[in-house]
Amino acid sequence: MVHGASQSNEDDTPAQISMAGTWTLSDVVPGCKVWVHRPMGGKGGQMTTLHAEVISIRDKPQPNVPHAHGTGLSLSTNGDEKVEEHEYYVHYDQWNKRLDEWIPTTRVLLDQELTWPKPPKKEQPKRAAEKKLPKKAGRASSSSQVQTPTGDGTATPVGVKRKHEDEEDTSAEASGMATPTNELEHSRNAGLSKAQEIEQLRTSGSMSHQHEARVKNLVKIEIGRHIIEPWYFSPYPKEFSYTPVLYICEFCLRYWASETQFRRHRTKCTLRHPPGNEIYREKEISFFEIDGRRQKQWCRNLCLLSKCFLDHKTLYFDVDPFLFYCMVKRDQYGCHLVGYFSKEKECGEGYNVACILTLPQYQRHGYGRLLMEFSYELTKRENKVGSPEKPLSDLGLLGYKAYWKEIIVDFVLNIYRTGGKEADISVDEISQKTGILQTDVMTALHELQLLKWYKGQHVIVLGDEVLARHEKTVAKQRRRIDPTRLQWKPPVFSRAQLSFGW
């Protein structure tokens, strides 16, 4: 008997399908795939049919009655009559995870087929050569877990950071969260190439194999004058999950489920700007530098808020190793948070950004590009080159590629104007002058198709199409970073300041 062939056949068993008319709503369990109606938007109220995976099942929320999130069905003696009182949390195939939502059972199409979840694969014992190496000193031990915030808005989690591949940390599994590294390892086991792994992270999200983290636990967030809908799961305390609105103070970032408590806090809160040093000011835009070690609570609350809109990062257990650079918009009421990026105080990989986010209410106004430009301005002040930490989110990937292309074409054009069309320029020179890492420069050059082979060497050729596109981009009225207004010197930390209590 060939055990390997038998195991392979068992793992490759296709998912079973129940045809229309052979299943009912009471048969649906988490992991099943069904066909559902989804509104297309607009005033017409038209519906489209999509294939969706059922992630979770809960009782339909009752007015003024708190409900608990669960995955089981309530007991009933009336069959499917009771099933109508449930809701399904679904993920639409080939759609971004931020569009996942709770739907009523009436949107499920019973006249279509139902796909049952595949049986779990049997784990094969690892060979001795495949065992992980011991953890490096100075990292979190495998017993460290992502801590849960407390109920008064004073959280105890962590900075937003990518897990390292050489760590063996069980905290992600214990807290219901997955890391990009775990996702990559799972993809390698599935036989995917590295490019496919990154694409899977970008489209599916790093938490696609963790049930609890796949379900958004917040309905709406009120922060300042804006009410926004979260995109992804964020580990706020369980008592705040599925409340109609989570109220967040836009200055101190503390949070409440009660509007009365929140309004009372707003009359007492004296903070009107991020608790750090203002290092840049131009018109109504300012940047503040916040040390995660000095302002732990504020930075932890910022990480919880940003996790609602970032799925490719995981919450790390401490914010001490990070500096946070927050962009705010000033008015007579205070400094309103627009976005931020964080960076490690000491990064061996040369990343100049660990996490970057523009809040949804300020997106599509050019603020994301301003954050990127500011991060590279800090990198040039340090006389270094840098790159954002990978993998990037879908919006982050598009934004950075557009920024790299614009900056590189603009730099090459200036060289041509001063030195003529035959001016010598190298990729390393572009990298040093712009602060963009050489691999990112090559990525932009290849996507723009600027590299040509001429007389035994590569040359940069700016075609008419590239020039026309660049002129159209430059013609847009965009805010730029003025380096002369940056009052900042690269911070220097002692060994004791970089110990972070590990």
Token pair listed for 59: 């009782």
Alpha carbon distances (Å) from 397 to 113, 215, 387, 391, 407: 36, 24, 12, 8, 16
Question: Closest by alpha carbon to 359, among 203, 226, 235?
Answer: 226
Q: Count CB-CB contacts under 10 A for residue 77.
A: 6
CA 100/CA 86 separation, integer angstroms: 17
The C-alpha angle 291, 292, 293, rounded to 5 degrees, equals 90
CA 18/CA 28 separation, integer angstroms: 11
What is the residue whose two structure tokens read 């700016």?
A: 462
Catalytic residue (choose from 278, 389, 429, 465) = 389
What single-letter DSSP state applies at residue 327? E
Question: Which residues, including other chains, have CB under 8 Å from residue 136's CB and lie 6 or more apart?
Answer: 166, 167
- Is 250 one of the catalytic residues? no
Q: Which residue intervals of 308-421 are DSSP H helices?
A: 367-381, 394-419
What single-letter DSSP state applies at residue 486? B
Give all strands (DSSP E) within 263-400, no chain letters.
Answer: 277-282, 285-291, 314-315, 322-331, 334-344, 351-353, 355-358, 387-388
Q: Are 373 and 339 in contact (CB under 8 A)?
A: no
Q: Is 161 helix (H, G, I), strand (E, B) or coil?
A: strand
Token pair listed for 212: 């609890």
Q: State phi, psi for 394 to the nearest 5 degrees.
A: -65, -45
Give all strands (DSSP E) within 447-487, no chain letters.
Answer: 451-454, 457-460
What is the residue whose two structure tokens read 């990525």?
A: 443
CA 157/CA 177 separation, integer angstroms: 13
Chain CA centroid to CA 91, Å: 17
Q: Are 307 and 232 in contact (CB under 8 A)?
A: yes
Q: State phi, psi for 474 to the nearest 5 degrees.
A: -65, -30
Residues designated catalytic: 389
